[in-house]
Amino acid sequence: MSTLPALGAFHIGSVPFTDPEYACRIVREHFPEIHAWPQLPRRSFAENMYAQFSERFPGVVIDEDQITVDRLQDLDPGLEALYLAYLEDDLSYGELSADYALGLHTFLDSAPALDRGPTFVKGQVTGPVSWGLTVVDQERRPTLYDEVLAEAIAKHLMLKARWQESALRRISEHTILSVDEPYMSSFGSAYVSLSRDQVITLMEEVFCGIQGLKMVHCCGNTDWSLLLATSVDILSFDAYDYAIHLALYPKEIAAFLDRGGTLAWGITPKTSDAYQETVDSLVGRLVAAMDLLVQKGIHLDDILQASLITPSCGLGSLPEALAEHVLSLTAAVAGAMRARYA
């Protein structure tokens, strides 16, 4: 496996553009080392991060802007097909069609030749906790609270990740697959009745299908020790608002870095606050965030060598002009950090 570029940059996933060719071009221009395909939720509800990975899930129903699992259907044939694909490692089951991921298909079709491509290529799949808590049955009960469906969700998403990774290797043999878990910011609250062991088991089920680097992205505050207890290789977090919370886990962060882990610092805000920030102000904020870990005994050089730069989250809900500004600012911050610590 090639080494990740220290202080390299990439985008998280979703962008507000509806033209897939433009979306692919702009993210490649800003992030030449790590290409990542764009999710296009404004093009179609099918590219919403939950609907996008629902294709072929047993009993799934997409109705305009709503996705559910109809438990009144006979789910057995669908579950049998899923488990057969899982047992036979049939990657075709996990294929993302162009109707659900035109951004991905355009990205693959317009990719540079393998010998001229990026060092790394990144994809993403919605995590089992977030998917299972968002997608409900006909009685509005989260599917993750059904023991049979919970296991099926993890295997379904693992196959989605497996197929996607195999497709991305047409661009680069060095892949990053992000498991996006926004709902982990609610872990431990009254709204999420899952144990630590349940979460780790679900995430590891998805991770076990990923051969390249495994990333997890959470854009809010969470129990970071839980995510760091998994086999994750890259921890992606909102460093603009939550760096101080991550610094509460210095022992876990140190152990993560010692085993070769990487921190993806989401330092560019995905709000209009980005217009109030400059490259210098964000570099200062990022250095201060890293210093929180230095104060806990982690060497700055170790942090810098194991750091990537990103926006704080996906940009799909933003105005196009603001999203372009965030992408440009993120790339500039990464460049400034490299110049500062060269």
**pLDDT at residue 92 greater than cutoff 50:** yes
Which DSSP category does 141 fall into?
-
pLDDT surpasses 70 at 56: yes
Q: Which amino acid is at 150?
A: A
Chain segment 194-237, per-residue pLDDT in tens: 899 999 999 999 999 999 999 999 999 999 999 999 999 999 99
Dihedral of CA 240/330/261/165: which sign?
positive
Strands (E) in 78-143, as ranges, are 120-126, 136-137
Per-domain boundaries in the chain: 8-340
Considering the domain delimited by 8-340, tell me its CATH architecture.
Answer: Alpha-Beta Barrel (3.20)
pTM of the model: 0.95
Q: Which residues, in sequence order, are CB contacts of 278 under 8 Å at separation 6+?
A: none
φ, ψ of residue 211 in degrees (nearest 5): -90, -30
Q: Where are the alpha helices (DSSP H) in 169-305?
A: 196-207, 224-228, 239-246, 250-258, 279-294, 300-305
Is the C-alpha dihedral spanning 22, 28, 31, 34 positive or negative? Answer: positive
Is the pLDDT reported for residue 19 higher than 80? yes
Q: What is the pLDDT of residues 165-198, one digit of tens each?
A: 999 999 999 999 999 999 998 887 777 888 999 9
Q: Which of 19-23, 29-33, 182-186, 286-290 has the lowest mean pLDDT?
A: 182-186
Cα 74 to the center of its chain, rounded Å: 32
Categorize the per-residue pLDDT at 2 as very low, low, confident or very high, splitting at 50, 70 and 90.
Answer: low
Note the pLDDT of residue 1: 46
Q: How far is CA 272 from the centre of its chain?
A: 22
Give rounded-to-5 percent helix, strand, coil for the chain. Answer: 50, 15, 35
Question: Would you state the structure tokens that stand for residue 185, as one six-digit string?
Answer: 């910011």
Say what percent of the chain tops pLDDT 70.
98
Q: In this structure, what token pair is assigned to residue 268?
A: 């560019």
pLDDT in tens, 105-152: 999 998 876 556 678 999 999 999 999 999 999 899 999 999 899 999
Q: Please report which confidence band the pLDDT of residue 341 belongs to, taking 50, 70 and 90 as the band edges.
A: very high
154-163 tens-digit pLDDT: 999 999 999 9
Alpha carbon distance 53, 97 (integer Å) = 10
